[in-house]
Homo-oligomer: A and B are copies of this chain.
Amino acid sequence: MSGWLAIAGLGPGSDALVTPEVTAALNAATDVVGYIPYVRRVPERAGLTRHETDNREELERARHALEMALSGRRVVIVSSGDPGVFAMAAAVFEAVEAGPEAWRRLDIRVLPGITAMLAASARIGAPLGHDFCAINLSDNLKPWALIERRLRLAVEADFAIALYNPRSKSRPEGFGRALELLREACDPGRVLIFARAVSTPEEALRAVRLAEATPDMADMRTVVLIGSSATRIIPRDGAPFVYTPRAVPE
């Protein structure tokens, strides 16, 4: 009876971005739990059971993993990116708080990973090189009005902004509304980066000015980075560099 639960971040896609800590946990696990494409990133081996679940069943998945850990299994819940950024870690702690006392005594660890916005930022330069924020654009779990309010305040604070989950089949409208809001609040020269499937074979990055941005540039595998008012493009042969300077003059 020495079960444990690790909630592990697999990073954005490439195995070269998986930390040794996560690899060690996966090697020691008896069970891997998660959304289908993430579980399939973990190679099959004797002694390992892979539990594939649908994306919408986060709390149920968390409870299942906690029950297995309590029964003595060594369980890893896999997330893409970092499990603490719009991923499974919060769902697990929601389940723990609402669940039986025994779950609080479990060995539960969160193993950080490279989150999408930082992988995207690295790939194009340093657009998040100054103060920034991260907003989940999905309104599955919060009112759309709150998203708009946060976006307005983030622009007012002149943060660089990372938008996670900008668009999905069930939410086709939100990102277009976010672009309209940005057009009201920002200069048309504001820099936007559409970073899709970074570090995978399907990777695609493009930097555009706000005036040229359209809703179809984002899909469910895209993270959108919005520069601050100071973010700059360095033109060069091939893909440009984009960065936000460290200094704001007095």
Contact = CB atoms under 8 A, between A and B. Distances in A.
Contacts of A237: 104-105
A127 B89 CA distance: 9
Contact of A20 (B18, B118, B130, B154): B18
A93 B241 contact: yes
Contacts of A156: 153
Secondary structure dominating the interface of A: mixed
Given A134-B131, A150-B131, A153-B156, A93 B126 contact: yes
A94 interface: yes
A14 B170 CA distance: 41
The oligomer's copy count stands at 2
A84 interface: yes
A21 B130 CA distance: 24
A21 to B, nearest CB: 4
Interface string A111-137: 111110011011101111111111110
A120 to B, nearest CB: 9
Contact of A89 (B16, B122, B132, B159): B122
A236 interface: yes
A133 B153 CA distance: 12
Contacts of A216: none
Contacts of A159: 133, 150
A31 interface: no
Contact of A244 (B11, B90, B154): B90
6 contacts: A11-B19, A90-B246, A105-B236, A110-B121, A114-B114, A142-B247
Given A111-B122, A146-B248, 8 more contacts: A89-B126, A91-B246, A105-B236, A105-B237, A110-B122, A112-B114, A131-B134, A143-B248
